[in-house]
Structure 1
Amino acid sequence: MPVRQATGSVTVVKLTVQVKLLPTPLQAAALEETLRACNQAATWVSQVAFEKDIKRNFPLREHTYGQVKERWGLGAQAAQHVIKKTCDAYRTLKANLKAGNLGKPSSKRYRRAIEKPIAFRPEGAQPYDDRMLSWQHTQRTVSIWTLSGRMKQVAFTAAPEHVARLALYRKGESDLLFRDGMWFLTATCEVPEAELNTSVTQFLGIDLGIVNIATTSDGQIMAGRRLNRGRLRERTLRQKLQKKNTPSAKRRLKRRRRKEARRARDINHKIAKHVVAEAERTGRGIALEDLTGIRARVRLRKPQRATLHSWAFAQLGAFIVYKARKAGVPVVFVDPAYTSQQCCACGHIDKKNRASQARFTCRNCGVVTHADRNASHNIARKGEAVWTAGRESRVPATP
C-alpha cells in the first residue's frame, strides 16, 4: 500500500513500480541460482534467530554473517540483506500476532506461527540496493549481481509512464522475485505530492459496494455485475478443478490462480483514476466511508461470505487515496453508520427506508431514489461536515 512520508519540506507518496525482466536462458539460470541460495541462507538465519531468540539485525549479524558468506558464497551486501530480510519477517510476524491477524493465542494458527522458525520459499523476493543493482532506463536494461558475477544488459519491459517514474523518483531498494515462470523487479519510488487544495467546500461522496462497486454523489454508478460474474465463474471452476485433483487440473489451477486478482486490481485502478480526475476537475474533495473491520462486523450466510471476502474494497480505497494525494485532492473518511438508512432529502433514519438492495423509499417524506445514490449523498454531506470541523478553530477567543 502507498505510504505518505515527509522528506524535508516536501511530502512524498511511496509507490512501487513493477517491471518484467526478459533474461536470456543463461541469465535466467544465474538469477535462479542466486535467488535459491539467498532464500536457503535466509531459512538458516531464521533457524538461528529462532533458537537463540535474537530477532534484531546487528546482534543476529554477529552470529550468522560470516557463515552466510562462506556457505552460500554470497557477497557482503547480499549477506546483509538476507539477515535484514529475516529480521523484517519476524517483525512482521510479531505485528500480526499483536493485531490478532493470526487468531487468539489458543488457536492452532497462532501456535503454529510461534512454535517453529520462519521458512522462506526458494522463489521468495530478495532485496537489492544500488551497490548490487543499477538501472539503464534509456536502454531498458539492468545490471544485477548474481553468484556467477555481475550480470549486465538484462532487458526489462514496462509501461512508458512506469519507466519515466523510475527514472525520476526511484529511491531505495528493489526486490527481485520469480512468479509463475516470470522474473520481476519491484522498485520503490518516492513521488512528490501536489499541493493540497485547501479551498474546497464541497465533496464528492463515494459509496462502495458489492453489486455496484462504486456510486458517486453525482449519480454515476460503476456496476460490479461483470466483475461479480467473473468471480463466480472463477470460483466454480476452481472448486471443480480442486475436486478433480489430477495433475492436469493442478497445472490449470496454478495458471489461473492470480487471474481474478489481476482483473479486480485493473478495475479498481480505472475506477480510482476516474473518481480522482472528476474531483480534481470540479475542485472538490473526496469523501469515503471508513470500512475498517467490516468483515468482522458483518454477519452473512455461508453462500454470501465468499463474495464479501473477495471484495477488494480496501484496495480500491487505497488507490483513491494515493491518486488523490498525487493530484492534491483532499480525502476524508466518515463514519458509515446509517448512510444507507438515512434519507438524503429530509434526514429521516429508518431501517425500512431501504426497500431493497437498489431501491430507497423514505417513510417520512416519500422520496424514492436509488439506494446507493442516496448513500453517496449522505457520505458527501458527512465529508463536508468533517472537513469543516477540522478547519474550524475549537480554541475560545481571547477576551
Structure 2
Amino acid sequence: MFLTKTVILKIETPDTELVETMQKYSEGMNHVSKVLFENGKTMGAMKLQKLVYPHLRENLGLKSQMSCNIPRQVAGCYKTLKEQIKTKKSHWQQVEFSPTSMTLSYKRDFTIDENTVKITTFNSSRKAYTILNYNHAKQYFDGSWKYQASKIVKHNDGNYFIHLSIEKEIPDKSIIEASTFMGVDVGINYLAVASTTDKKCKFFAGGKIKNLRNHYKSMRTRLQSKGTLSAKRILKYISGKEKRLMRDINHKISKEIGNYSAYL
C-alpha cells in the first residue's frame, strides 16, 4: 500500500520574484475562473485548458506547466462547487482566488533537496530558495520517498512555506500477523470514536467542537439573512477561518488516532 504525507517546510529566503510569480498565478486563476463562471456550468479540465491556455501563456507570460495546472485546479474547484449546489450548501458563483497559494508540479515546476527548493518563477527558469529543514523532516529526504505536486503557501503570519506532498510504498501487513483490530467511526457529538476487538474505546474531540460548529452555523445563518456586501465579506472571512480551524483539528485528531493505534 502507499503511505502519503504533506510535509510543511518554511522558505527562509522568499523574494519579490516569488511573490510576483504567485500574483501572476493568482491572476491566471481568476481569469480562468471568470471564463468558467461565464460559461454557466462546469466543464472538463482539457476543454477549459484549450480555451484559456493562449491567454495564460501569451498575455500573462506564465510558464507552460503552470498554464496547464491552473485550468485543472479551477475545473476541480467548480466541480466541488457543483456538488455543494446539489446539496444546497452553495449557489452558482464566481470563485475568487488570492495570491496566497500556488500549485507546482515536481520536476517540471520545482525540485527539492534537504536544504533547498528550486522553483520555476515568472522571470527565471529555476531559482533556488533556502528552506528551514527541521530534524523530524530529514527522514523524508533519504531517497525512499517520491515527491508529488505540491503547493507554495503564504501563511497568515506572512511567511512562505512549501507544502511538500510525498508518497512511499510500504508492504502490506499480513492479516494473520495482527491480533487486534481497530475501527473508527465519525459523528457529530464526537468527531471520531476508535474501538478495538479487545473492547478498548477512545473518544476524540467531543462537545467543544460541536459547540464551535453550532457557533459558526449560527453566524452564517445570521449573515446570510442580511445579504449585504459587508455581510458577504464577513461570511467569506469566517468561512475560511472555520475551514482552517477544522483542517487543523482533523490533522491533530488523525495523529492522535495513529498514536493510539500504535500502543494497542
Q: If the length of structure 2 is used for normalisation, what is the TM-score? A: 0.70
Pair 1:75–1:270, CA change in 2 (3 A): closer
Superposed, which structure 2 residues align to 1:63-212 within 5 Å? 63-98=51-86, 100=87, 102-103=88-89, 109-110=90-91, 114=92, 116-137=93-114, 140-150=115-125, 152-166=127-141, 167-180=143-156, 181-199=158-176, 200=178, 202-204=180-182, 210=190
Partner SS, residue 98 of structure 2:
coil
Partner SS, residue 259 of structure 2:
helix
- Distance, in Å, in 2 between the alignment partners of 1:267 and 1:43 is 32
CA RMSD of aligned residues (A): 3.7
In the other structure, the counterpart of 2:9 is 19
Highest relative contact order (Cα 8 Å, sep 6+), 1 or 2?
2
Task: Report runs of 4+ in structure 1 exceeding 4 Å deviation.
Answer: 204-225, 257-263
Query: How far off its partner does 1:49 sit?
Result: 2.3
Query: How far off its partner does 1:265 sit?
Result: 5.3
- Distance, in Å, in 2 between the alignment partners of 1:18 and 1:159 is 10
What is the letter of the counterpart of residue 173 of structure 1?
A: A
Partner SS, residue 149 of structure 1:
coil
Q: Deviations over 1:34-78 (max 9, x none)?
A: 111111111111222233456222322222211112222211112
Pair 1:269–1:83, CA change in 2 (3 A): closer
Larger Rg: 1
Instruction: For structure 2, list consecutive stretches of 5 or more residues without a partner in the other structure.
Output: 220-233
Q: Deviations over 1:132-163 (max 9, x none)?
A: 211122xx111111112145331112443433
In the other structure, the counterpart of 2:36 is 49
Pair 1:39–1:168, CA change in 2 (3 A): same
- Distance, in Å, in 2 between the alignment partners of 1:69 and 1:57 is 17
- Distance, in Å, in 1 between the alignment partners of 2:6 and 2:29 is 24
- Distance, in Å, in 2 between the alignment partners of 1:172 and 1:161 is 19
Q: Percent identity?
A: 19
Pair 1:73–1:95, CA change in 2 (3 A): same
Q: Deviations over 1:302-334 (max 9, x none)?
A: xxxxxxxxxxxxxxxxxxxxxxxxxxxxxxxxx
What is the letter of the counterpart of residue 76 of structure 2?
A: D
Pair 1:197–1:155, CA change in 2 (3 A): same
Pair 1:154–1:228, CA change in 2 (3 A): same
- Distance, in Å, in 2 between the alignment partners of 1:207 and 1:45 is 39
Partner SS, residue 130 of structure 1:
coil
Query: How far off its partner does 1:221 sit?
Result: 5.9
In the other structure, the counterpart of 1:39 is 26
- Count of residues in Structure 1 that have an aligned counterpart in Structure 2: 232
1:133–1:142 Cα contact (<8 Å) kept: yes
- Distance, in Å, in 1 between the alignment partners of 2:17 and 2:155 is 16
Query: How far off its partner does 1:262 sit?
Result: 8.0
Partner SS, residue 142 of structure 1:
strand
Pair 1:192–1:35, CA change in 2 (3 A): same
What is the letter of the counterpart of residue 175 of structure 2?
A: T
1:170–1:187 Cα contact (<8 Å) kept: no
- Distance, in Å, in 1 between the alignment partners of 2:185 and 2:63 is 52
